Amino acid sequence: MRDLGFTEPTPVQAAAIPPALLGRDILASAQTGSGKSAAFGLPLLQALAGQPRGKTRALILAPTRELALQITAHLSALAKYSGVRVGAVYGGAGFGAQIKLFSSGTDIIVATPGRLLDHLVRKTAKLGDVSILVLDEADRMLDMGFLPPVRRIITYLPAQRQTLFFSATIPTAIAKLTQELLRDPVRVSLSPTGSKTTPVASVTQTVYSIHRDSKTNLLLELLKDNTIYSAIAFTRTKARANRLAAALAKNDIPSERIHGDRSQSQRVAALDGFKRGKFRVLVATDIAARGIDVVDLGHVINYDVPAVPEDYVHRIGRTARANKSGDAITFVSADEEGLFSQIERSLGGRLNRAKTPVVAQSAPSPAPGRPELRLGGRNTRRRPERRALSLGVE
């Protein structure tokens, strides 16, 4: 932690770490970007540091391969001097190296449910010595249909264990699962609206009403302002992601894509290149809404309005992480007004439309409203900031 420059815990870390160190089960709900990985990772590493190596003693379940890789990287950095080994198990990669993780007794396995269940069915996974189970982004696992596989995986684990349960929201199905898994848990709730999830206050939200066919022109116009130095642009479908990436490339905007039709190596290379500054824009579908951690990400652009309010919050949660500020820009076409109204109701009020640049409007669009709502302060010039001193980020 000292090497990484982390000195102050985030609220979820301050609330969850002490009882977790005492061996208590934890039920935590907190906004995305609040530092949940360290909130469960540090107590887990502390518990395993003094135990003999050679057995898998902790299992972390995550809904996507990107999140699994992110957690693995964070915990590996924190575990540098502990001797604790961390490995990732996920789909889209070969079985051979993953089988070696189990056979060699890797201390902590971070896995997606589908691939882990494949290993269990093949009898290549060894989970009999697991004493700590972590479920991260449990609500997302429910959304992706992973609840039945999660229940099956749990039957392979010892009944006596510590369980740390983290979720941005606690819908009814998740609440029922927590009752099955947790024993007298300590409740940690950092979501201000209870079962709903809301953006962090330091995100400035800007909304443009725009004709569907003019979205690309609007994005190109906004990118002329070099204050947008790095951005993730979210589209609704893989085909639209491909078309947008092609349009950006045609206009000499360094960009790459990340979606379900891209191979794992392509997705890793795209994310790595974006983090290193090789690409100015990362075009993504909602597969990347959770599990992407980019230091100093200035902007998230909702090129298409997401289908559910929770995805909107998790998309824009890629910026303004670890107490930093960030900007979220949403393009709303006439056919998306209904979806965006649902998002506004979830947020508790209408977000006013900004004045749309005339150059971007190749077809009529709704009249602009008052200036955009600003939640928290916004810097007039977005420059990379120094790394926040916190105990990691999600």
For residue 151, tell me if it sits in a domain: yes
Q: Note whether 211 and 179 are same-domain residues.
A: no
CATH of residue 134: 3.40.50.300
Burial class (CB in 10 A: 0-12, 13-18, 19+), 369: middle
Least Cα distance to 197 among 7, 22, 33 occurs for 33
Q: Which domain holds residue 168?
A: 11-189
Q: Note whether 230 and 108 are same-domain residues.
A: no
Return the pLDDT at 293: 66
pLDDT of residue 134 exceeding 90, the answer is yes
Return the pLDDT at 248: 95
Residue-wise pLDDT tens digits, 83-104 = 999 999 998 888 999 999 999 9
For residue 23, tell me if it sits in a domain: yes
Q: Note whether 269 and 353 are same-domain residues.
A: yes
Q: Note whether 140 and 237 are same-domain residues.
A: no
pLDDT of residue 81 exceeding 80, the answer is yes
- pTM across the whole model: 0.64
Q: Note whether 238 and 262 are same-domain residues.
A: yes
Q: Note whether 210 and 91 are same-domain residues.
A: no
Q: Which of 123-132, 292-301, 359-368, 379-388 has the lowest mean pLDDT?
A: 379-388
The single residue listed with the structure tokens 């990691």 is: 392
Residue-wise pLDDT tens digits, 331-343 = 999 999 999 998 8
Q: What is d(CA 295, CA 235) in angstroms, rounded to the nearest whole number?
A: 22
Mean pLDDT of 270-287: 88
Residues 6+ apart with CB under 8 A from 86: 72, 75, 76, 79, 106, 107, 108, 110
For residue 390, tell me if it sits in a domain: no
Residue-wise pLDDT tens digits, 28-79 = 987 666 788 899 999 999 999 888 889 999 999 998 888 899 899 999 999 9
Return the pLDDT at 390: 36
Residue 393 pLDDT level (bands cut at 50, 70, 90) = very low
For residue 152, tell me if it sits in a domain: yes
* Last residue within a domain, chosen from 189, 212, 237: 189
Return the pLDDT at 347: 82
* Last residue within a domain, chosen from 150, 165, 189: 189
For residue 330, tell me if it sits in a domain: yes
Q: Note whether 48 and 179 are same-domain residues.
A: yes
For residue 386, tell me if it sits in a domain: no
Number of folded domains that form the chain: 2
Q: Note whether 238 and 329 are same-domain residues.
A: yes
Q: Note whether 24 and 136 are same-domain residues.
A: yes
Q: Note whether 155 and 301 are same-domain residues.
A: no
For residue 269, tell me if it sits in a domain: yes
Q: Note whether 132 and 251 are same-domain residues.
A: no
Q: Note whether 94 and 215 are same-domain residues.
A: no
